[in-house]
Structures are given as C-alpha cells and as structure tokens.
Structure 1
Amino acid sequence: MNEWSANIENSYKINSKPLEIYFFIDPFCSDCWSLSPLLKKLQLEYGDYFTIKYVLCGQLSALNCKSKPDIPHFLQNKKCQEWKGISLQFSFTDEDAFTPHLAAISIKAAELQGKNAGIRFIQRLQELFFIENANITDINILRQCAKYVGLDLEEFTKDIYSTSAARAFQCDLKISAEMEVTEMPAMVFFNENIEDEGLKITGIYSYSIYVQILTEILEEYPKPAEIPPLEMFLKENPINETNDLALIYDKPVKHIERQMKKLQLQQKAKKIPAQSGNFWQYDPS
C-alpha cells in the first residue's frame, strides 16, 4: 500500500462518513473565495456524508489579483493521477516575515490547534484580504486574526515560526504537485474503497453539479439536512455577501436584503460596502 492510500485508509478509520473531499485552494485566490458559499451550503445539507480536508497550493501570486472571475458553465471530470514521487524542497526563515508564505504558513499554524480552528482561521483571513483589504502578510494582522477566531495566541505565534507548520505547508505543496493540481479551486472526491481513484474537478460550477457528484459516488440519492434558520447561521458565519446568503437559502436577493435590513433595524447587523459587493456583518451584542 502506498503512502497516499495509507493516509486515506487511516482517515476512514477515524470517521465513519462514506466520502472524503480534498479541497485544494490558494486562500488568496478570488476563485477559491467565490467557492466558499457553495461549500458552506454543501456542508450544511450533506455534511453527514463527507469530511473535508483543506490542502494549500503554492501559487500565491493571487495575492496581487482580487478580481472576481466569471463562473464557468462546463464541467471537467478528471481521474486523479498516481503519485510520481516528486519531492519539493521548502524552507522558512524569519526573513520571510512579510511575504505571502507567512500568510500561508499561518494557516498551518492555526490547524495545529485543530481542524475546525484552521477552517475558522482561513475564513477570517479571506475576509480580511477580500473585504477589508488588510495586509495579511503582516504578523500583527495574522495575530489579530488568530485572536478573532479564538486561538491560543501564544501557541499560534510560536507555531508560525516552528518547523511543524513549515513542514505541514511543504506537505500540502507536495500533495498538490503529485496530484497534478494546476488549477484552482480543485476538489477531489474519495469513497470508502481506497482502491478506487478519486474524482477531481477544477473550477466553480452550479450547486447542483456538486450534489450530482455526491449522488454518483454514493450510488444513491443523499438526503439533505435542513438548513438552520438565518440568525443561527449568522452566529456561526457573521460576515456574508447578500448574493451568497441568497444562494445558501435559495431565496431571491431582495428577500435576503429585507431580512438583513430587519436585523439592521434591530441593531443586530450592519452593512459593509466592499469592491466585490455588499456584505453584512451580524453582531447581536
């Protein structure tokens, strides 16, 4: 059994969900940011059927590009390639303290405090970058981000400059290269049979496509869970674009606008104008 198969098998021993999704992203790429609401909706409705693992890609030049691309209307299915034994060398020093690599490594440092902590950190880091135009290559901004999502700040700061975080980032780059992930975002779906190849798709597609893929791999129609009421969702995801909430709740944009304006009148939410659209921040305090 090769190392890749062993990792997949160990993952299934830990959880009993029938599918695992490897989500390859550059967190600072606008395409990956655009996929966030689709992924949230998929997890809300079908999270009982899969676990998700975030894998960072190394194309961090996207830090210089914030334009929101058009969503393609076609689907490319590719079978995952076998590992080729490629070995990437990566090193990190204090001299990199104001580089894109620091932002990427900070994500791996956050993940050392747990999978969910890492996901919360990625989401907040993207908000800082895409909505607030913050300099997420600054260690002080990264520390603020860690504090915002409830991480142990002392551990986080220590881990950013640790070999553990650097090696975790190196491992992600190696997986991306050996899986031949050259476009982002990319998702690879694995089922319980570790002998089967994963199904890889790249780009952003309609929500129904992702549900169709789950159905085909499961060989049955998965039963969607009920999406929580809006305020309950906002408590866990306080910053959202109007269009994203409309997608998640299958409601017209005007309906969501009315709901958020009601919360605004109740002083539970405020509107945040941004280049990429109007966002709402939920704050009931």
Structure 2
Amino acid sequence: MEWKSQKELKAKYMQNKPVEMYVFVDPFCMDCWMLSPIVKKLQIQYGDYFTIKHVLAGDLTALNSCKLNNRKEQLTNSSTPSKKMKHMPHLAAISIKAAELQGKRAGIRYLRRLQELLFMEQEDITDLYVLEQCADHVGLDCKEFLRDLYSSSAARAFQCDVIIATEMNVAEMPAIVFFNERIEDEGLKISGLYSYDIYVHILTEMLGGYVQPTELPPLELYLSANPMISTQDLAMIYDMPFQTIERKMKKLQLQRRVKRIQTQNGSYWKYIAYEQ
C-alpha cells in the first residue's frame, strides 16, 4: 500500500512539476561550465519534479569586450593568415537567446556547445564565424539563427534575463534560485558551486521530503547524448571513484568508442558514434 501511494505521488508530480529552477549562467564563467554536469544529473534523476529555466547573467558586456580586445591582440601579433572573422561585442550572449528562439532544447544544446568551444577548444566565441559553426554543429537552422541574432526578439530576450537577474539580486556566478508551488513562499537562492548532494537536499526540502530518483542510463548511452565530457564529471554523475571511471573510459578507448582530447583546461573524452 505504501508503494502504491508513493507511485501515485510521483505520478502527480510528473503531471504538475511543483518546483521551478532558475539557473543563472555566465557563458564565460568556468564555474558555470562546471555546474553543467550537476544540472544534467539533476535533470536525469529528478527531472520529473521540476522545470528549469536558464537565465544569462554576469558582467557579459565587459567580458565580451575583454575577449574581443584579447583576440585583436592575437591577430595583430600573428604573422599567420587566418580565415575572415567578424567580431562583435555582446554577440556571444545574444546568440544564446537567438538559439532559444528555435526551442528551449535547442538553446540548451547551443549553450553547452558554446561553452565547449570556449573552455575545451579555446575558440573565440565573440567571433561570428565561430557562433555560426556552433549553431550548425547543434543542428540549428543557420539562416534563421543569423536573422534572429540581429533581431529585436533576441535583444529583448537578453534584456529580460538581465532584469530577472537584477530582480532576484543575483550577483555571484553560478547561481540557482528554487521556487515551489506555494506562491507565498520566497525563492531559495544558492550562489556558487557546491556538491551534487547539496542540490538534491534543497530539492528534497522544497518537495516536503519526498523524492524518488530515476536510474542513470548506461554509461555509453549517456556518452552518446553528451559526446564531450571529463572523467571527473563522469565520476560525479555515476558516483564512482575517479580511477574506476578512468578504467572504463580507457576500455572504451581501446574499443574505439571514445578518444581523449587534451586542452588547456584538462583532458576530456569525445564519444565516437557508430558509422551508419
């Protein structure tokens, strides 16, 4: 009887997800990039209980300008001819909102790929060419993306995010604000980067003590949906020792299912899809 009541309670939550999470992200912030696998795991295990909204925040204008100036210096000091590039301040942030105009999931795919380009591949994400390639990589309609990039709709969406961050007094990145279905309750804000268990504890408290996690998918299935990831992130997601995950990944490497990618920010694994 107890099992049936828990099953019925979960079914109710799935129909009317009682928790709303606002995840504030600065695409240039390393800690925001490190939060990404934690959010992914929360969505896999507890996505039946909450909806999620990604909100752009941080001093994006200054960061864009800084990246732009650094890139100009690199081009000035380089004797190697490079492909034609067009750099625009603020474009990296607004491009995320342009991607979201093609759907919420499309926007999330674009944001994750944009962070991969910055932190794993050291690309200049203020470069219009890089943004266009990012959109193409995640399957967006590139013509529509470029139109939206310069549209008032994307600009207004970006300004709405800035207003939300101001109203919720979000200053430190990353940050998550939790709301439950009781509108009289204030939101619960957690700023900074914490362990996965902390976020689960907060979610459990917001749900009145009841959560029933969904099982994690098999490792290779997860890799097929998240083709670039570090051993450390996988160890957190699967709650396994680092060395255990490293051995599993090396085994997949021998099977030519993954390859190791070395970057300035550490090493990552890239999943190799089966050829059709």
CA contact (8 A) 2:58 2:173 kept: no
After TM superposition, the score normalised by the length of structure 2 is 0.84
1:126 to 89, 95, 115: 115
Distance change in 2, residues 1:48/1:100 (3 Å): farther
State how far apart, in whole Å, the 1-side matches of 2:89 and 2:226 are: 25
Map of 1:109 onto structure 2: 98
CA contact (8 A) 1:110 1:146 kept: yes
What is the rounded CA distance, in whole Å, between the counterparts of 1:58 and 1:31 in structure 2? 12
1:208 is aligned to 2:197: yes
Gaps of 5+ in 2: 1-14, 68-85
- Which of 126, 136, 148 is residue 137 of structure 2 equivalent to? 148
User: Which has the larger Rg?
Assistant: 2
Residue by residue over 1:127-174, the C-alpha shift from the partner in whole angstroms, topping out at 9 and shown as x without a partner, is: 000000001111111111011111111110110010000010011011
Aligned pairs, number: 240
Alpha-carbon distance, 1:195 to partner: 2.2
TM-score (norm. length: structure 1): 0.81
- Which residue is 1:56 aligned to? 56
1:29–1:62 contact (8 Å) kept in structure 2: no
Aligned partner letter, 2:167: E
Structure 1 residue ranges (4+ consecutive) displaced by more than 3 angstroms after TM superposition: 61-65
Map residues 24-43 of structure 1 onto 2, 5 A cutoff.
24-43=24-43
Which structure has more relative contact order (CA 8 Å, sep 6+)? It is 1
* Structure 1 position 226 matched with structure 2 position 215: yes
Supply the distance in 2 between the matched residues of 1:158 and 1:47 (Cα, whole angstroms): 33
Aligned 8 A contact 2:177 2:190 in 1: yes
- SS of 1:113's partner is coil
Amino acid at match of 2:16: S
> Over aligned residue pairs, what C-alpha RMSD do you find?
1.5
C-alpha displacement of 1:275: 2.1
C-alpha separation in 2, matches of 1:127 and 1:107: 14
1:199-244 CA-to-partner distances (Å, cap 9, x unmatched) read 1110011111111101111102301100000111011100001100
Separation in structure 2 between the aligned mates of residue 171 and residue 232 of structure 1, nearest angstrom: 36
Structure 1 Cα separation of the partners of residues 89 and 105 of structure 2: 23
Are 1:241 and 2:247 an aligned pair? Answer: no
- The offset of 1:40, in angstroms, is 1.2
Q: Residue in 2 aligned with 1:23? A: 23
Name the residue aligned to 1:161: 150
- Distance verdict in 2 for CA 1:62–1:31, change over 3 Å: farther
| Residue identity matched to 2:194 | Y
Q: Aligned AA for 2:229?
A: N
Q: Distance in 2 between matches of 1:58 and 1:201?
A: 15
* Identity fraction in percent: 62
* CA positional deviation for 1:99: 3.6
Q: Distance in 2 between matches of 1:196 and 1:99?
A: 41
Matched, 1:282 2:249: no
User: Which residues of 2 match residues 251-266 of structure 1 at below 5 A?
Assistant: 251-266=240-255
1:177 aligns to what? 166
